[in-house]
Amino acid sequence: MTKKVRDYDKLAAQILQELGGEKNIISAARCATRLRLVTQNQPADAKQKISALAGVITVVEKGGQLQIVIGTHVDKVYDAFLKLVNIEGAAPSEQKMSVLNRIIATMSAVFAPFVYILAAAGILQGILILTCLAYPSFNTTTTYQVLSFMSWTPFHFLPILIAITASKHFKCNLYIALVCCAALVSPDWGAIASSIKSGENLYFLGIPLSETVYSSSVLPPLFLVWLLSYLERFLEPRINSVIKPLFLPLICMLIMIPLTIVFIGPISSHAASFIADSYNGLVALSAPLAGSVIGGVWEVFVIFGVHWGITPVVMANFQMYGHDSFQAFQTISVIGQVGAALGFYLKSKNHEMKGISLSAFITGIFGITEPAIYGVNLRFKKPFIYGCICGLIGGLVSGFFDPFYFAYAGLPGPLTIVNGISAEYPSSIVGIVIGSIIALIGPIVLTQFFGTGEKALTNDTVDEQPKIMFESVQIKSPMIGEVFPLSAVPDPVFAEKMMGDGVAIEPSDNHVYAPFDGEIKVLFDKSRHAVGLVSPQGVELLIHVGIDTVKLTEPYFSYHVSLNQNVKQGDLLMSFDMEKIKASGCPLITPVIITNSADYQYIDPIDQGLVTTQNTILIIKQ
């Protein structure tokens, strides 16, 4: 629900009650819009009950946290919540998270930053497949060879990409991690492994070497960097500071690279291969059964964030066999949720929700289903169920055609269906297309017959103050940079306008300026990552610099204003360290949100591309 709330103590007490009381709360934190809680045992219906509370926009479970989206009044609810519980309010430490949640958080932190690189390479491979079908002689040209090795480059050097993101996640030296993981894909090691594979017995310090190669591998570099982080922390205080810059990387290389190629690599590669073989065994036993399971429940895995965990299995299949059926069934599951969002759009009479569902459908075409899931399908439950049912049926039917993907898809979805084309397996693409049509059309039909799950709108919203009438208000850009629609923000709460309408800005400058004359109403003492203003007409604006930047505890941000200060358009509000934020792995794209959007009939984004503080980015009309 999106009712306005002013009884913060009551809302905090209600949330605590639904979560089982004070003894069940491990930690509490907040960002600009969300109350972030970790509980020992979450009651089964707590998420649904909290979502229904007045003042709660939605509830998202992510990385072991229950994230309660409240809006710019979250600070009041957070303060009231802390009065009810005896905790320090710190974000949960890794030790307080379950093993499963730590694995999920690790996989997400490692793969999310470069998933779009893999997706782009996968699309290029799909284009090459289509081009060769239309012009068979094209694959004999040098142009094809250049484009082909380009498309495979991110996968071949995947250990290096993992070194970059994993070193940030595990907090170890980036350059040591890079050189250790680069050694795994060295041509010299490839030559040694090839000699072993041909029957030659080779040894390192008397220990037999394995023929394992590490291009496109996932687990070996991941374990390497994880153990490297412990080794670094052990060595740091024990090496003299004078020789540390030289001897720390030397010792790490001498230990980690041989340890990986002798023990870690072969063991972890065999583990991934075992899991992949187990899945392939299920496919061999009954492909329709495997297809129905993956088609029906894959998007449930996405909700809980465990979908990254399948990457090693998929990569192992491509490495061992040159094709993979999991992504074929995964595509059908994705299309089921895309079809559900489209069905909602066609059936709904709510103008705002039609816009959200259409945006989610368009995003889903590119294989990104989080906006559809969080913004529409799960929110009203029925569309999500329709998508799962039709994904199950589509996966079941496609299983009779032995579907495979012959090129890795970073983001499986409608655009990657062409990855299932192969002259050697002509039935593969037929099965994928039939399954995808079922998954797309089925939810539309079910929505028409059984409804969207929307409830009748009520008029019980409480307005605290009389509205100031005006014809229009122009919002200037608070930053120098490039304007994007909110759908470009990699966070479903902002992307699907749950917090309100607005735009996003990718900054090219490290300052935030007042977009209108007004009063500072929201500041954050610790993180200083966002600022909220109110205009004389009552327009409430939130400027949230970057995504997930609330977790940055170092002084990445600086305020130049104080709470309740009056400012003029163009006044400097805050500044930030762009390089440090980028190095932390947080996207810098900045949502600029009208948090009381429901008060206005029209909020029109002005499409201007590159903007300065003199450009208008939003026009608000009553």
**Residues involved in catalysis:** 31, 544
- The per-residue DSSP string of 114-156 comes to GHHHHHHHHHHHHHHHHHHHH-GGGGGSHHHHHHHHHHHHHHH
295 and 329 Cβ atoms separated by less than 8 Å:
yes
Residue 565 is which amino acid? Answer: Q
322: left (phi over 0), alpha (psi -120 to 50) or beta: left
The candidate with the shortest Cα–Cα distance to 492, out of 77, 57, 192, is 57
Whether the Cβ atoms of residue 445 and residue 486 lie closer than 8 Å to each other: no
Burial of 79 (0-12, 13-18, 19+ CB in 10 A): middle
Token pair recorded at residue 258 = 């041989």
For the four alpha carbons of 286, 289, 293 and 294, in that order, the dihedral sign comes to: positive
Task: State the DSSP string of 461-487.
Answer: PPP-SPPPP-SEEEEE-SSSEEEEEGG
DSSP type of residue 555? S
- Provide the 10 A C-beta neighbour count for residue 424: 9
3: left (phi over 0), alpha (psi -120 to 50) or beta: beta
CB contact at 8 A, 522 and 72? yes
**CA–CA separation, 43 vs 41, rounded Å?**
6
Sign of the four-CA dihedral 597, 599, 602, 603:
negative
**Cα dist from 374 to 25, 340, 511, whole Å:** 25, 12, 32
Strand order in the sheet with 518-522: 566-567, 518-522, 530-534, 540-544, 590-594, 501-507, 481-485, 610-611
- Residue 473 backbone phi and psi in degrees, to 5: -130, 130
Helix, coil or strand: residue 247? helix
Kind plus residue range of the DSSP H or E element containing 598: none
d(CA 540, CA 468): 13
Stated as kind and residue range, the H or E segment containing 246 is helix 244-259
- 400 beta partners: none
Crossing angle of the two packed helices 174-184 and 219-235, in degrees rounded to 10: 140
- Upper half-sphere CA count for residue 361 (Cβ side, 13 Å): 18
What is the enclosing helix (H) or strand (E) of 271?
A: helix 265-285
CA angle 300, 393, 333 (to 5 degrees): 35
- Two tokens at 148? 């082909």
